[in-house]
Each structure stands twice: as structure tokens, then as C-alpha cells.
Amino acid sequence: MGDRTYLELSQDGGGAHKFYEVTVEGTVVSVRYGRIGAGGQTQTSTFPTVQKAQTAAAKKIGEKIRKGYAPAVQGLRAPRAVTRRQVASAPSRARSVAPVLWRFRTGSAAFGIHIDEDRCWVGNQAGDVYTLSHSGEVLARYALPDGVKCLVADDFWIYAGCDDGKVYDLSSKLPFAAYDIAADVDIFWLDIHEGVLDVSDRDGGLTVIDHEDEYQWSRKSRGAHAWMVRADEDAVYHGHAGGVTAYAPDGTGELWHTPTQGAVLFGWQEDTSVYAGTARRQVQRLSKATGAIEASYGCDDPVYSCATSPDGRHVFAGDNASSVYCFAADGTRLWKLGTGGGSALSMQYLDGKLYMVTTDGSLVCVDASESAIAAARSGSVPTAVDIKYSAATPTYTPATAVTQVATVTAAPAHGVIVECVQDGSRLRVHVASAGYEPTWNVQFPRDIREPGARYVVDALHPAAGGFYRVRGEIRRLV
């Protein structure tokens, strides 16, 4: 048995809740890391001599201690509280089945979905996030350390919230941990707007974290089990067992509260309305300005998910009996069909297609055009294509140390240089290239910050809060 050093970083009442273990056996250094109480991930490196292996191990340990880790006894500290959604799915009672074009089975229960103009994203409880083309071709896999709670988009940026309390930025090939949620928050759902993270939890709490991964404010709503949080520039909309509550973005107070027909199990938003799927077989549309209920959409069973067409012309819902519905904006039910593969836990509509992730862990693509739905209702549906995952698909794992970042010796012509600077007790990142505001912070992964280090990024975008966001690849300048 080699030399083993076990460290933990856990901040009571907030912050991280993770471990880092280094073992040296001869010329081999093994590093195991992750959420306290979980198995974590392991990385192994071999060095030419025993001395070099010991030196490398000492450097890794020193880096973590400087970040606040401390020696600990494994197993003494309780693991992070994690509630995984328990869902039941009965067979559909609909007379016809939806026209499913293709189906991709992820291999584990899945909740996370995001569909954009370029690709489809799905994340499951095994920690896998897959990207696919709109035709169903598997493009890439992101192997994250823990189960994926949800996938959220904030303009260009795509994030995966995981059971380890981290939120990973998947916007480039190498994913990074962008946020680290307090250990006492049992995460249910997430949203991000202009780089600000909103977290809803088991107790009906709402926690807001800024772009520097620093706590801003929190509120306790009037009901527990908060499965909905949506945000825009005007408010944060929090759905829970007691209804939907809107808060001012700066946390200064409650804007309105509206009881709903049953506990909120899912939420969606458009420009002027939020939609709450409830346990009492309703999707309810609420005015963002006043909280007034503008319309209700009646289903036959509790609603697990909902979505709309971009113009709000159609409202879609998935229930816990493996059925999917479509309504006109005024509440008129247009159709109900079986999903053909479990209940839809999340869904999104784009360009005439309805994408759903179901209780059997599948991402399915439904042809939601009027002609396809009419044919399905008369019993004519296409043969769904089962998409296969290839072991040759590119797989990406998170960067957890500066040594895992690609290096360059000179900045590309169109690259932007940023550098880590000490700001009191904080390590910030500022722009070194000309043409940018030098006092603004750059939202940057904490795990790869190092005093004095310089990096090259593809592009920087200004955010409303007076900071920059990285777009594209990050490389260290050496």
C-alpha cells in the first residue's frame, strides 16, 4: 500500500463539499476526487522515477491546501444530501401513439434536455451528457462525475447541474465546473440568466449565486419541493408545492405569489408568461407582470413536463401516464397521444418537432406537424429509428486542474489574453488584452485559476452585470 493523503473541503452552511485523495505507489500517482460520500473519479499518472512521482504528488497536495482543503478522516463527514426524483409511469390510455421519428436510449434515467439550433442535449443520472444532431446522430459524450439534475441554456452557454453540487459549463470541448452549490442545499432544479445562477431546492428554498460563484441572496417560499425555477431580467419565478412566487432579481423582495391547482412539478417560460405543470392535472399560464392566471390546460393525469411553441400558439404537456398533449393558446385540447416509451420528464419544441426525455432514459423526437399528427390519430405512424451509441464517439471529461488545460506559447491573432490576479483574499481573472475594461472580472473556472497565470480564450462577451464571459476554448499561455 502506497503513501496516501486524504483532504476535504467542506464549508458548513455554504460552499463546497468535496474530497481530494492522492496515493503514491512507486512511480505511479493516483488522484481520486469528487463529492464527499461518493466514489468520485480517479486519474493515474506514471513518472520516470520515484522522486519525481513524490514531487508531483506533493505539488498536487500543496495546490489543494492553498485552495482551502485540509487533512481529514474519510467517512466522518456526512455526504451531501441528494434527492433523486422518484417518478412513476403508467401505460398510456391514449388511443393512438405519437409519430416518433427516432429514439436514443441513454442507459439511465434522464431528466436533462436542451434543444438548440445546432444540436440536441440529453443528460442522465449516470452523469452522461450526450449531444446529437437533429436527425439523431450521436456527436459527443460528456462524462461528468455525478448524476445530471438538469440542463440549462443561457444564450450561447450550456450548463449541466449535477448531484455533486457542481454546475458544469459544456460550451466548449473541455467542460469546466462553473459553480459550486452549498452542501446544505438539496438541489431540485436550476436556471441561469446573464451568468447568475438560481437554485431551487427540496425545502422550497431559492438560492442565488453570481458569476464569481459567490452567494448573493436566498429566500424560503411558501411550499416545499421546488421543482421549478425560471429567470429573466425582471424576476426569478419559483414554483413549489404552494404555487409560483416571483422575486426581484436583486433579492429585495417578493413581487407576487399565486397559488396553483396542485403542487408545481415543472416550469417553462416565454417572454410574458410562465407555465406551471401541476400534480392536479393542469398546466397553468401565469402573467409574468402580475402573477394572474391567464389560461389553464387540463390533462387527464398529473403533469410531469410542459413546453410551448416559440410564438405561444401551442402548449405541450407530458403526464405520468405516458401521454403527451397539445393545446391551443386559449386552453382548447387539440390532441392526446401515447409517447410509445414512458412518461416525458422534460420536453422542448423546435421547428415542428417535439423532443422529450422519458422515464426509461430515452430522448425521443416526435414529428409534431399537423399532417403527422393527423396520420398518427388515424393509426399511421413512422417506424421509429433506434439510434445506437458508438464507442468511437468523442468523450470529454471535466478539467479539474491547470495541468489538464492545453497550452500555447503565443496568443493566436484573434485570441484574448486574460490573467489571474490577487484581489485581497480572492483570486480574480482580468483581461490583459487591449480594448477591454481592465477592472471587470472574467467569469472563469476556479479549478484552473493560479496566481499570475495567463490564459488565451477565443472570445469574451460583456454581461449585463459588468463582467466578461468566456466563449470558446481556454488555453494556458506559457
Query: At the top level of CATH, which class does the domain 3-71 belong to?
Result: mainly beta
Note whether 243 and 237 are within 8 A (CB).
no
Cell 460552499 -> residue: 15
| Beta carbons within 8 Å of 374's beta carbon, 6+ residues apart | none
Q: Tell me the three cell numbers of residue 126.
A: 449516470
Q: Tell me the three cell numbers of residue 321.
A: 401516464
Note whether 105 and 357 are within 8 A (CB).
no
Angle in degrees, CA 22, 33, 9, rounded to 5: 95
What letter would DSSP give residue 63? Answer: H
Length of the chain: 478
- How far is it, in rounded angstroms, from Cα 460 to Cα 129? 25
Note whether 426 and 455 are within 8 A (CB).
no
* Predicted pLDDT at 174: 84
* Predicted pLDDT at 444: 93
* Predicted pLDDT at 396: 92
Q: E strands of 309-434, at which residues?
A: 314-319, 323-328, 333-338, 344-350, 353-358, 362-367, 385-387, 395-396, 407-408, 416-423, 426-431
- Which CATH number, 2.130.10.10, 3.40.50.720, 3.40.50.2300, 3.10.129.10, labels domain 100-387? 2.130.10.10
Task: Return the domain boundaries, the chain.
Answer: 3-71, 100-387, 399-477
* Predicted pLDDT at 424: 83
- How far is it, in rounded angstroms, from Cα 119 to Cα 103? 15
- How far is it, in rounded angstroms, from Cα 37 to Cα 76? 10
Looking at residue 11, its amino acid is Q
Q: Which helix (H) or strand (E) holds 372?
A: helix 370-377
SS3 state of residue 81: coil
| Beta carbons within 8 Å of 51's beta carbon, 6+ residues apart | none
* Predicted pLDDT at 446: 85
Note whether 353 and 366 are within 8 A (CB).
yes
Q: Which pairing describes strands 442-443 and 407-408: parallel, antiparallel, or unpaired?
A: unpaired
* Predicted pLDDT at 16: 59
Helix/strand/coil percentages in the chain, nearest 5? 5, 50, 45
- How far is it, in rounded angstroms, from Cα 195 to Cα 213? 10
* Predicted pLDDT at 404: 84
pTM over the 0.85 mark: no
Of residues 259, 254, 253, the one with CA closest to residue 241: 259
Q: Please give the backbone phi and psi of residue 54, each rounded to the nearest 5 degrees, phi first.
A: -65, -35
Q: Would you write out the chain's pLDDT as a tens digit for each of its 478 residues?
A: 578 999 988 754 445 578 899 999 999 999 998 777 777 778 889 999 999 999 999 888 888 887 778 888 887 666 677 777 778 889 999 999 999 999 999 998 888 999 999 999 999 999 999 999 999 999 999 999 889 999 999 999 999 999 988 999 999 878 999 998 888 888 999 999 999 999 999 999 999 999 998 899 999 999 999 999 999 999 999 999 999 999 999 999 999 999 999 999 999 999 999 999 999 999 999 999 999 999 999 999 999 999 999 878 899 999 999 999 999 999 999 999 999 889 999 999 999 999 999 998 999 999 999 999 999 999 999 999 999 999 899 999 988 777 788 899 988 888 999 999 988 888 999 999 999 999 999 999 888 888 899 999 999 999 988 999 999 999 999 9
- How far is it, in rounded angstroms, from Cα 64 to Cα 110? 33
Torsion over CA: 137, 142, 148, 150 (sign): negative
Q: Which helix (H) or strand (E) holds 61?
A: helix 50-66
* Predicted pLDDT at 11: 56
* Predicted pLDDT at 83: 78
* Predicted pLDDT at 14: 44
- How far is it, in rounded angstroms, from Cα 166 to Cα 179? 6
Of residues 162, 165, 116, 115, the one with CA closest to residue 142: 162
